[in-house]
């Protein structure tokens, strides 16, 4: 009923060319050059431009972790390793002592020992004339709240400790308070250790006769230091 009409050769040739072009395009997309440099992938991922599956296809998981750490390190290079301390006298109508401040800027804060030894404990859970780990005993206090909010983080953090040790202005009052403070960060590559002593005393009338706060020793090691960061710890020495 219908007369068969031969399709124009031009259209057939055009279809073949189109099919070949599509295959070439697919091959180019499958086997072409892909920039899999880990640092670029990380940058794109951080900007939300690359899916996790693409990252996993581009580099192995272990390599990604290593490169991510390196990239994070590059990001904090411009942020300095900070260690500052300050002491100022504190006196009011009934109390006197010092406000002891430590400010830190450290990568990945991970461990704190804040040890105190005194002949006159100011908390019932402290033992007299023994080293007390105040980071545990005083957990939740304002002194350690900054640290508790950032410990375990892998980023650069700033931390401030403000401790106001004082005694009452009663007649013949005396207290000696020793400090051993040890901070570790950046996979134990950054370390701060310092020791200090405070002495407070009143006379028979309750007036201040002595108020001193002295730093005895201080050690600060940054990443790349050849120094050994394993120092003796009086808290553990007492337990031996």
pLDDT value at residue 81: 78
- Do residues 120 and 198 lie in contact, with contact meaning Cβ atoms separated by under 8 Å? no
49 within domain boundaries: no
Q: Quote the CA–CA distance of 210 and 172 in Å, as a whole number.
A: 11
pLDDT value at residue 80: 73
6 within domain boundaries: no
pLDDT value at residue 31: 41
28 within domain boundaries: no
Q: Quote the CA–CA distance of 125 and 52 in Å, as a whole number.
A: 50
3-class secondary-structure state, position 234: helix
With the C-alpha atoms ordered 223, 226, 232, 236, is the resulting torsion angle positive or negative?
positive
204 within domain boundaries: yes
233 within domain boundaries: no
Q: Quote the CA–CA distance of 87 and 84 in Å, as a whole number.
A: 11
Residuewise pLDDT in 10s, the chain (240 residues)? 445 545 555 555 555 555 555 555 555 444 444 444 444 444 554 455 444 445 555 555 565 555 556 545 545 455 777 889 999 999 999 999 999 999 999 989 999 999 999 999 999 999 999 999 999 998 889 999 999 999 999 899 999 999 999 999 999 999 999 999 999 998 888 889 999 999 999 999 999 999 999 999 888 887 655 454 454 455 444 443
142 within domain boundaries: yes
- How many domains does the chain contain in total? 1
pLDDT value at residue 14: 57
Q: What range does the domain containing 168 cover?
A: 81-220
pLDDT value at residue 82: 86
- Residue 116's Cβ-count burial label (10 Å; 0-12, 13-18, 19+) is buried
Q: Quote the CA–CA distance of 40 and 12 in Å, as a whole number.
A: 45
pLDDT value at residue 129: 96
pLDDT value at residue 147: 95
β-strand partners of 208: 202
64 within domain boundaries: no
43 within domain boundaries: no
């Amino acid at each position: 009923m219908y007369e068969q009409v031969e399709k124009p050769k031009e259209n057939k040739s055009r279809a073949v060319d189109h099919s070949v072009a599509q295959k070439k395009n697919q091959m180019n997309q499958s086997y072409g050059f892909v920039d899999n440099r880990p640092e670029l992938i990380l940058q794109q991922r951080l900007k939300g431009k690359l899916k996790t599956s693409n990252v996993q296809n581009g580099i192995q998981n272990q390599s990604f972790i290593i490169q991510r750490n390196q990239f994070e390190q590059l990001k904090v290079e411009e942020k300095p390793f900070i260690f500052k301390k300050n002491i100022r006298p504190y006196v009011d109508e009934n109390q006197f002592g010092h406000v002891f401040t430590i400010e830190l800027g450290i990568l990945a804060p991970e461990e704190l020992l804040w040890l105190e030894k005194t002949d006159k404990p100011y908390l019932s859970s402290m033992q007299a004339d023994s080293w007390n780990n105040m980071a545990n005993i005083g957990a939740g206090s304002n002194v350690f709240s900054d640290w508790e909010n950032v410990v375990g983080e892998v980023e650069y953090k700033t931390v401030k400790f403000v401790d106001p040790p004082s005694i009452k202005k009663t007649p013949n009052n005396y207290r000696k308070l020793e400090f051993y403070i040890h901070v570790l960060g950046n996979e134990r590559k950054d370390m701060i250790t310092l020791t200090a002593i405070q002495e407070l005393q009143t006379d028979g009338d309750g007036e201040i006769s002595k108020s001193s706060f002295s730093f005895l020793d201080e050690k600060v090691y940054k990443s790349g230091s050849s120094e050994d960061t394993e120092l003796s710890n009086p808290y553990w020495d007492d337990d031996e």
